[in-house]
A and B are shown apart, each in its own frame.
Chain A
Amino acid sequence: MSTATNPQPTAPTETDAPMSVRLVDRLGRALAGSGLTRRRFLSRVAVVGAAVVVDPIRYAIKPGSAYAQVCGDGASCTSGWTAFCCTVNAGANTCPPGSYVAGWWRIDDSPFCFGAARYVIDCNRSPNATCSCRCADGACDKRRVCCNNFRYGQCNTQIRGVTEVVCRVVTCTAPWVWDRACSTTVRVDNRTRSHNASCLPGRDATRIDIKYQDMGMRGSILGAPVGSERASGPGRYRRYENGTIYYRSSTGALAVHGSIDQHYRERMDGINGALGYPTSEPQGTGVSGGLQVRYDRGTIYRASSSVTPVAVTGAVDTEYRSRGGPSGSLGYPTSRTARSDGSQLVRFTGGALVQVAGGPVAAVTLTFLEAGSRYPTSDPDHVGWPIADVITVGGQQVQRFERGIVTRTAGGTAFGIGSDLADPYLELGGAAGTGGAPLRRATFVAGGRARVLHLERGMLVAGRTGTRLLTGEVLDAYEAEGGPDGRLGLPTSSSVTVRGGQQRASFERGAIVIGTDGGVQVLTTRSGATPDDLATSTPTGGARRRGRTPGDVAR
C-alpha cells in the first residue's frame, strides 16, 4: 500500500495509449458514447453483457440500469460505501496485504446466496500499514478504498482501535466459519442487499461459483479458472489452476486442490474413473500432517506434501479403513498397482492389501509379497498376488497366492511355491503333515521333467510321473541312489507301507523296498521292461498285477 494522508478519494487516471488503442477508443466512443476510454468502453461492454445475463428483460426495457444491475446501489465513489476486495485486489475475494478481518454484517434473504444469508466482511487497514483513500477502478464498482474509518468489531478483537476499511469480502459462508477470528455476534444491514461487483458472482451464480467466491476466488488456493463449468454424469465441475471444484446435489460443492486432485484427474481418470466423484474436501488424516480426500468408491491419501498421493479403491479401501487407515498398523499407502480386471494391490508402509478379480481382500506382509514375486514371471514359483489371508499350519505361516503359496522354510526364509507343488503340499497337511516344513525352494530335476520340494521329513516330487511324496527310509535309499537324477528316475508312487510293515515306492526304472527288518532292497528294471511296466507292477518286482497301484496296496 502506498502512503498518503489525503482523506478524499482520488479517481484513477488514464495513461497515454498507442495509436491502435486510441483507434479502438474512437470506435468505442462512437459505439458507446462520447468521453469513454477504451478500458471504460470494454468495461461497459462487460457490464452490459453481465446485465443482459442477469436480467435481460429489465435491461432491454431500461438499458441505463446495467451498472445498477451488476454492482447494485451505491456503486459510485461518491456514494460513500467501500469497494469490494475483488475489485481492488487482482480478483481475489480476500483481504489484501496490509489489512485484516475486522468485522462483518449479514444480509438476509440474499439473491446472491440462493436466498440464504450473505455476509460482507470488512478488511481494515492493519495498524502498521498505510494506504491512501481512493476510488476503486472496477467495471462498475467505483466505491471507496481505504477511506471510511469504521469498524464492525466482531473479528480480531485482540487488535486495538479503528482504522480505515480497505475493502469488503463477500461470502455465503458464515464469517465465524470462514475465519475463526470472527465471533458470532450478528449485525444486520439489509439495506446493502444489492451491493455487488462485476468480479463477484451475480444473481445467476452456480453453487460452484459461490464455493469459489467463498474460497477467495483468485486469492484462493485454487488460483484462476482455466475452463468453464461443465456437466458430467450426476454432477458438475470446474477446473482452476491448482485444483477443481466438484458439485453434486448430494454433496454440495467440494474443492480439491494440489497433488491429490492432479493424481485423481491424471492417474485415476477423474470422475469417470474407479473413484467416482469426491465426497469430501482434503482433510487431515490425523497422522503426520497427511491429507486424504474421500470419493464415492475410495480415497486418495497423501502422507506429506513431498510424496505422491496414492489412491485406494473399493473393498481394499474399506478394509484399510477398518484397520485404522493411516493410523493403523498398515500406515500410509505407498503405491498402487491395478489390473484391467479390477484387481488391485496397494502397498503400505506396514504391509499390503490385495484384491484379485473381485475376490476377498487379503492382507499380506511386504516380505511375503516380495517372496511371491521374487522370481521371473516365467518361473513356476512366481506365484502372483495373495488371494487369502495368511494362516498358520504346524507352526508355519502359509498364504495362498494366485498360482501357489508363500510360506517359510524351516529356517524362516519366506519363499514362493508354485501350484504344482503347493497344492499337494497343502493336501498333505503342510508343515503339520508327514513331510513337515520345506527346507528350501523347489528345484527342477531330471532334466526339467519334474520339480522337487525338499521337506523336513520328505521329498515332494511333481512331474511327468505325477506328484509323489517320498519319506523315511525309502527316501534315504532313493537319495542314496542319486534321487530323481539317479538310475531309478522319477518316482511313480509315493512311499507306502503295506501289510506286514514293508515300506516301498516305485520309480520309472525300479523300486525300493524296505523290509520289516530294515533291509533295503533296490530293484531296477529288467532289460526290455519299461517304466510303465514297473509303474504297474509290485515294488518287489513280483508277478504283475495289472490294474493295481501301490495306493491300492496301502488301502
Chain B
Amino acid sequence: MQVRGFGIRADLPRGWEGALRTAAPEPPAPGEARTLSVETHPVLHAGTFPLPVDRGDFGSGAVETMREGDTFVALLEYGPQEADTPLFEAQGLPRRLDPRRFSGSSLQRVIPGQAGYQAFFTEAGRAFCLYVVLGAEEDKLVQVRRVEQMLASIVIEPTT
C-alpha cells in the first residue's frame, strides 16, 4: 500500500494500512474576523490494525483499539519556521530506533501495556514529529523492527 501527498511518500509493508491528511481549518466564529490563519500541515498515520476514521492526530481513538501485537506510527509536520529550532534540531527521520527508548510513560495517553516513542527532527528543511506506539511493551524488540521497516519506506521531499 502506498500513501502519497504533501511531499511525503510511504510504501507501506504488507500488513500496514495508512492515511495522509491535514486538519480541517477551524471556521471563524460568527462575526469574528480571523486574524491569523492556522497552518494545516500533513499528518501521516500508519498502523498494523484497522485505523478508525475518528482519531486524533496523535492517535487517540486508534491506540485504544490496539492489540498487543499492533503498532501505530504518526508522522506529523510542523510549520517550516520550526525547522532547525532546538526542538527540531535533530536531522533526518530516525530510521533506526533504540527499543530502550520506548517507554510506557512516553505516551499521549498512557494505556497499560503500551509503549511509546517520540522524536522531533528536521528533514529536507521541514520540521516533523515521529510518534510511535507499540501495543505491547514486552514485545518491543520485534515491534520496533517492524516499525523500522515501515520507516524505511518513507520519503520526505523538500518543499518547493
Contacts and interface: CB of A to CB of B under 8 A. Distances in A.
B29 A116 contact: yes
A187 B105 CA distance: 21
Given A150-B107, A162-B118, A188 B87 contact: no
B85 interface: yes
Most buried by A among B41, B60, B89, B108: B108
Contact of B110 (A144, A152, A158): A144
**Size class of the contact patch on chain B:** 35 or more
Contact of B109 (A7, A148, A153, A159): A148
Nearest to B78: A185
Interface in B17-45: 23-26, 29, 35-41, 43
Contacts of A176: 36
Most buried by A among B43, B81, B109: B109
Contacts of A160: 86-87, 89
B86 A191 contact: no
Contacts of B110: 80, 144, 147-148
B38 A157 contact: no
Interface in A25-82: 74, 78-81
Contacts of A148: 105-110
Interface stretch (B1-9, B49-57, B136-144, B147-155): B49-57
B135 to A, nearest CB: 14
Contacts, number: 119
A80 B109 contact: yes
Contacts of A153: 78, 87, 120, 129
A190 interface: yes
B20 to A, nearest CB: 15
Contact of A184 (B57, B79, B88): B79
Contact of A117 (B26, B86, B89, B107): B26
B109 A81 contact: yes
Contact of B37 (A81, A161, A184): A184
B34 to A, nearest CB: 9
Given A150-B116, A160-B86, A189-B60, A80 B107 contact: yes
A164 B78 CA distance: 21
A177 B28 CA distance: 14
Interface in A179-195: 183-192
B10 interface: no
Most buried by A among B38, B86, B110: B110
A159 to B, nearest CB: 7
B26 A151 contact: no
Nearest to B109: A80
A258 B37 CA distance: 33
A149 interface: yes
B26 A185 contact: no
Main secondary structure of the interface of A (DSSP, over half): loop
Interface in A97-147: 105-106, 108, 116-117, 133, 144, 147
Contacts of B16: none
A358 B91 CA distance: 71
B72 interface: no
Nearest to A158: B86
B39 to A, nearest CB: 5
Contacts of B76: 187
Given A162-B118, A190-B56, A149 B106 contact: yes
Contact of A186 (B29, B40, B107): B40
A187 B39 contact: no
Contacts of B57: 105, 187-189
Given A148-B110, A176-B36, A183-B79, A188 B23 contact: yes
A471 interface: no
A191 B54 CA distance: 8
A183 B82 contact: yes
A191 B61 contact: yes
A198 interface: no
Nearest to A153: B129
Given A80-B109, A153-B87, A160-B89, A184 B39 contact: yes
Contacts of B41: 185
B78 A159 contact: no
A157 B116 contact: no
Interface string B97-124: 0000001111111111000101010000
Contacts of B107: 80, 148-150
A533 B11 CA distance: 126
B56 A157 contact: no
A150 B118 contact: yes
A186 B89 contact: no
A322 to B, nearest CB: 27
Contacts of B112: 78, 80
Given A185-B39, A191-B56, A191-B60, A7 B104 contact: yes
The 4 A-B pairs of least Cβ separation, nearest first, read A189-B56, A80-B110, A157-B87, A157-B85
Interface of B: 23-26, 29, 35-41, 43, 54-58, 60-61, 76, 78-79, 81-82, 85-89, 103-112, 116, 118, 120, 129
Interface of A: 7, 74, 78-81, 105-106, 108, 116-117, 133, 144, 147-154, 157-162, 164, 174, 176-177, 183-192
Given A149-B107, A158-B85, 4 more contacts: A74-B109, A184-B36, A185-B79, A186-B39
25 contacts: A79-B109, A80-B107, A80-B109, A144-B110, A148-B110, A149-B107, A150-B106, A150-B107, A157-B86, A158-B85, A158-B86, A159-B87, A177-B35, A177-B36, A183-B79, A184-B36, A185-B39, A185-B79, A186-B25, A186-B38, A187-B23, A189-B57, A189-B60, A190-B56, A192-B56
